[in-house]
Chain A
Amino acid sequence: MSRNDRLSGCLLVLFGALVLWRASTFPTLAGLEYGPGLFPAIAAIGLMVCGAAIGFGPRGRQPAQSTSTLPARQSGRWAAARPLALLAVVFGYGLLLDPLGFHVASFLAVFATGRVFGLRVTGAALLALPLVIGVHLLFYSLLRVPLPWGLLTPLAW
Chain B
Amino acid sequence: MSASTLAALFSPASLAVIAACTLYGTFIGAMPGLTATMAVALLVPFTYFMDPLIAISAIVATTTTAIFAGDVPGTLMRIPGTPASAAYVEDAHRLSRAGRTRSTLMVSLFAACIGGLVGVALLALIAPQLARIAIQFSSFETFWLACLGLSCAVLTSNGSVAKSFASLFIGLFIATIGIDVAVGHPRFTFGYYELFDGISFIPAIIGLFALSEILRSAQARRGEQPASAAQEPFARALREAGRTLRRFKRNIARSSVLGTLIGALPGAGADIAAWICYAVSRRFSRHPERYGTGYIEGVTDGGSANNAAIGGAWTPALVFGIPGDSVTAIAIGILLLNGMSPGPQIFTDSPELVHTLYGAFALSNLAMIPAGLLVIMISSQVVRIPRRVLMPIVLLFSLVGAYAITNSVMAIWTVLALGILGYAMEANGFPLAPAILGIVLGEIVEENFMTSMMKAQGDLLAFFERPWATALGVLTLLLWALLLTRGIHESVRRRRHPDSSTTSQTDTAS
Contact = CB atoms under 8 A, between A and B. Distances in A.
B428 A58 contact: no
Contacts of A59: 494, 498
B158 A67 contact: yes
Instruction: Please report whether the interface of chain B is mostly helix, strand, loop or mixed according to DSSP.
Output: helix
A21 to B, nearest CB: 12
Contacts of B267: none
Contacts, number: 253
Interface string A68-99: 11111110000110110111011101100110
Nearest to B427: A1
B215 A50 contact: no
B391 interface: yes
B216 A70 contact: yes
B81 to A, nearest CB: 6
Nearest to A26: B185
B494 A50 contact: no
A74 to B, nearest CB: 4
Nearest to B31: A69
A127 B389 contact: yes
B182 A29 contact: yes
Given A40-B173, A40-B176, A69 B32 contact: yes
B446 interface: yes
B388 A58 contact: no
Interface footprint category on B = 35 or more
Interface in B400-433: 400, 403-404, 407, 409, 412-413, 415-416, 419-420, 423-424, 426-430
Contacts of B173: 19, 40, 43-44, 47
Interface stretch (B7-15, B218-226, B236-244): B218-226
Nearest to B188: A22
Interface string A99-114: 0001000100111011
Contacts of B218: 82-83, 85-86, 116-117
Given A27-B183, A61-B498, A61-B499, A69 B427 contact: no
A147 B81 CA distance: 33
Contacts of A57: 162, 491, 494
Given A50-B163, A53-B487, A69-B35, A62 B176 contact: no
A144 B424 CA distance: 35
Contacts of B183: 27, 29, 35-36
Given A62-B502, A65-B158, A70-B216, 5 more contacts: A22-B188, A32-B453, A35-B183, A47-B166, A97-B412
Interface of B: 32-33, 35, 46, 49, 70, 79-83, 86, 158, 160, 162-163, 165-166, 168-170, 172-173, 175-176, 180, 182-183, 185, 187-188, 211, 214-222, 224-225, 271, 387-389, 391-393, 395-397, 399-400, 403-404, 407, 409, 412-413, 415-416, 419-420, 423-424, 426-430, 442, 445-446, 449-450, 453-454, 457-458, 487, 491-492, 494-495, 497-503, 505-506, 509
